[in-house]
Structure 1
């Protein structure tokens, strides 16, 4: 397929240069957003970590709250097909565990939501959750788990002579406002993240490595058992890291989401100090982890009257509990809003029930669904699609509809002034077609007609009526096979936004490629559809350069997505097919 990537050589060089400072095992790490949260094989050591004053004074007594979550559409114009998997279960689910929070701060916790996508601060697939927002112990004996107000991450197990560190990454775009040392928290980085609507978060990453010699010298300048250990204890790189493991950003830098920041470490008395005896020796001389971990904090501005300009620590999982509760996996219903993204805005291989469950995550930020496709693999429905900012107007989306249901909604929305913008078709377990569609507002004076489940003969008659006789255009078209017979679903419009179109379907890959090359100069592929061994698409007059591919595996689709994004192209349409094993896609301006 023809594609335009003007700066590809430069892109590859830049990626290679950046990769040299990232831990090798993380360059091609498997997707961690959808994995079950991993737990350490051995219980993490007990003791406060963080900065010099980790047990900050409570603003009020800890109190149990009976929190409930209900599922509501963000606006009345956004819906999800009711018979898609997971909906009934989602509406019945109670919260994973009742939170125990500082009573005076509960109004702040209740107001917190995601205003921009926030991602996990690590990519290493063996890293897991060590501690939640509260510790898993009650050392002060008040009957509640001790306050932590952060999340601790570390490797779940460490082999002999394995470096226990892992890469630490920016959770969102932002500006570095602090790169400093504190005797309790060690090396730390704070980044301020500003959402498109102006809402701000701050993320702080503590106990980082910043070069073996530097960190040991800093530790020798402290006091107590930490200083003694730095002076007389082990010099092992497994504990202190290497001189090349340094912080990769500085104050004032702008960072992108997922940018490498530093290596996790144990710097500061709140790092390795909790596994030291009072004489500065290790409590366990055979330790492999050396308590190397990331102490991670998220803050938001206080919303209460009289607290203007103050920052409050919040739980990015929405759990407000200790790490032992089942509140950290995506299938959990947390008592407060989850800030971490359940999947990327442009996604694939995501179970449809997760898209349903977290429907409000991206739509609640003002993003709209540009494209979506659903395909069945085994007993699971998988979705591929893209939520994007900047798509104007109101819209509807419905997934996995029967033909009858699809026609009903077409009639309903048509009467309200909407027409389908994109359609995808898969088959259910009985081989019957299921439709997913996105509707958009029709331009003034435009009429639309939708057809589906038409065989070649009936579609030919429909074509003759709308295109040849009435001079309407095809806005969208897909073909699909049921029981060995080809069927069509299409949308015709009477007043298109441009002049002219081409529709081809049922072509071999070779013929489609030739047609693509023939039309590329003056025509832009706006819709692509693969049906078995055939390919088809709708072309409209060309306005911008674009890229299109089909037959991609999941890995090659991700590679093409990254390349297109680097060239400033956005995903226009995606299709998952062949039991969610292959993908076709178009990128454009």
Structure 2
């Protein structure tokens, strides 16, 4: 399924910053809550959360950063109904969703999300989308001048589902987004767009009916050097994490997902400029 192609005339203006940050993965629900409380008490905020199944229970891969921030909230382990209730509550209080991640544990879909009061233009978000409805919303919002900023794939009853966020910006930015790519298809598009001057800004791995897929967003926003990896098992991810952190890169995107009964990881590192 093609979930996007779009070209505009101007460039985005998003750069990595060299703030203090930490990332963790293979956190059980209890371990994640303990780490969340610890980091927030130390002045960090959650930048990214990704849920996945490991040993029959939810695990989380997360990134925290110490930086100035508006008010924010985050919840995980939400069913669709609970997520909608939280969404409605925070929307009335002036918050917007900046990340939503769908994940499946024991054949039940859950959501993890981050809300904050950061300034933005108009925005839209949807969850529980089938491939067809995702394409319909994508086309509708594209025609209204929105660009996709976040996408998550997950499984419901052996079929893929999607959650996504769109924002309307005045900067204009050449961008591309696709979903339901196999590893080979994702690598092919990755190579093509990098050759055309794009960089990867979001990647999410997910499994549906036993097949691993990827959803990703590329754009031409400026940045320092960057690196992306996917299909990593835990030891490989740890080795890459250590290598790039030592070289001064910041982990900006971390997706945990399942490949059969094993956990896998996709990530993007950016070197602050």
What are the within-5 Å matches in structure 2 for residues 375-524 of structure 1?
375-390=52-67, 392-429=69-106, 431-444=107-120, 446-468=121-143, 470-495=144-169, 499-520=173-194, 522-524=197-199
Q: Report whether the alignment pairs 1:534 with 2:213.
A: yes
Give the count of matched residue pairs: 244
**Runs of 5+ in structure 1 lacking a partner?**
1-195, 197-343
Residue number in structure 2 paired with 1:159: none
Q: Is the 8 A contact 2:103 2:155 kept in 1?
A: no
Structure 1 distance, partners of 2:170, 2:68, is 18
Structure 2 distance, partners of 1:548, 1:488, is 22
Measured against aligned partners, the alpha-carbon deviations of 1:225-278 in whole angstroms (never above 9, x if no partner) come to xxxxxxxxxxxxxxxxxxxxxxxxxxxxxxxxxxxxxxxxxxxxxxxxxxxxxx
Distance 1:498 1:354, change over 3 A: farther
- Quote how far apart the aligned CAs of 1:552 are: 0.5
Residue number in structure 2 paired with 1:210: none
Structure 1 distance, partners of 2:193, 2:247, is 22
Question: Hey, which bits of structure 1, 4+ residues long, moved more than 3 A?
Answer: none
TM-score, normalising length: structure 2: 0.81
Q: Report whether the alignment pairs 1:577 with 2:257.
A: yes
**Runs of 5+ in structure 2 lacking a partner?**
1-19
Measured against aligned partners, the alpha-carbon deviations of 1:68-118 in whole angstroms (never above 9, x if no partner) come to xxxxxxxxxxxxxxxxxxxxxxxxxxxxxxxxxxxxxxxxxxxxxxxxxxx
Structure 2 distance, partners of 1:436, 1:491, is 14
RMSD: 2.2
Q: Report whether the alignment pairs 1:370 with 2:32.
A: no
- Quote how far apart the aligned CAs of 1:539 are: 1.6
Structure 2 distance, partners of 1:366, 1:497, is 31
Distance 1:575 1:419, change over 3 A: same
Greater RCO (Cα-Cα under 8 Å, separation 6 or more): 2
- Quote how far apart the aligned CAs of 1:456 are: 1.9
- Quote how far apart the aligned CAs of 1:415 are: 3.1
Distance 1:404 1:580, change over 3 A: farther
Distance 1:399 1:494, change over 3 A: same
- Quote how far apart the aligned CAs of 1:537 are: 0.3
- Quote how far apart the aligned CAs of 1:559 are: 0.8
Measured against aligned partners, the alpha-carbon deviations of 1:525-564 in whole angstroms (never above 9, x if no partner) come to 1211112222220122231121111110111101111122
Looking at secondary structure, tell me which structure has more strand per residue: 2
TM-score, normalising length: structure 1: 0.39
Structure 1 distance, partners of 2:22, 2:132, is 40
Q: Is the 8 A contact 1:498 1:541 kept in 2?
A: no
- Quote how far apart the aligned CAs of 1:411 are: 2.5
Distance 1:563 1:503, change over 3 A: same
- Quote how far apart the aligned CAs of 1:580 are: 5.8
Residue number in structure 2 paired with 1:559: 239
Structure 2 distance, partners of 1:509, 1:558, is 20
Report which of the two structures shows the higher radius of gyration computed on alpha carbons: 1
SS in 2 for 1:350: strand
- Quote how far apart the aligned CAs of 1:455 are: 1.1
